[in-house]
Amino acid sequence: MLAPDPAEAVRLAGGWLFDRVSAGWDVTVLTAGGAGTRPLRILGARAARLETVLACPLRIPRPRALAVHEGLYRSDARVRRLVLDALGGGTAEVRLWGGDCATDLDDAAGPVCHRPSRAARAFKAQALAAAALPDDAWQGVETFRHCDLLLHREPG
């Protein structure tokens, strides 16, 4: 996952993160800023600095799933390249979260809702508390947009 900070990842996608970890996925959240990785650890995810990964010339192994905050996708050409590379490989599920539909998504790409498991809701509540966010900061459903229909071009 690529997120502006740990709190935003927990607030908008913490249940999805926990459910992926519970399903046996190895989950790393790359953050552009912010302090305090404890909320991500509560969900079972590791944290790393996005800048460090983007500066690394090799990105092996390829992720099987990539969830990208739309603000990062729109503002950083390196993030867009990472998404396009993941899509170009044809093996990664790519989702955008945290904003309106990106300008280069086909209009047919509708929202995908994730209803966190009961355990995910409990752990997300603890992660929200650790991030100093109210538990009512979310509506019980996390919304993403699939990027299967992403046009393979740089946004203009």
pLDDT at 149 over 50: no
Least confident residue range of 12-26, 82-96, 114-128: 82-96
108 pLDDT higher than 50: no
27, HSE (Cβ side, Cα atoms, 13 Å): 25
What is the fold of 2-146?
Rossmann fold (3.40.50)
Average pLDDT over residues 128-154: 74
Report the b/e string of 111-121 with b at 16+ CB within 10 A. eeebebeeebb
pTM metric for this prediction: 0.84
pLDDT tens digits along 45-67: 999 999 988 887 766 567 788 89
**8 pLDDT higher than 70:** yes
Residues whose CB is less than 8 angstroms from the CB of residue 81 and which lie 6 or more positions away in sequence, other chains included: none
Q: Look at residue 151 in the predicted model and tell me its pLDDT.
A: 43
- For the chain, which residues make up each domain, given as ranges? 2-146
Contact 1, 30 (CB under 8 A): yes
Residue 139: left if φ>0, alpha if ψ -120 to 50, beta else—which one? alpha
Nearest to 97 by CA among 41, 17, 40: 17
Widest pairwise Cα distance in the chain: 42
- Report the chain's terminal Cα–Cα distance, integer Å: 24
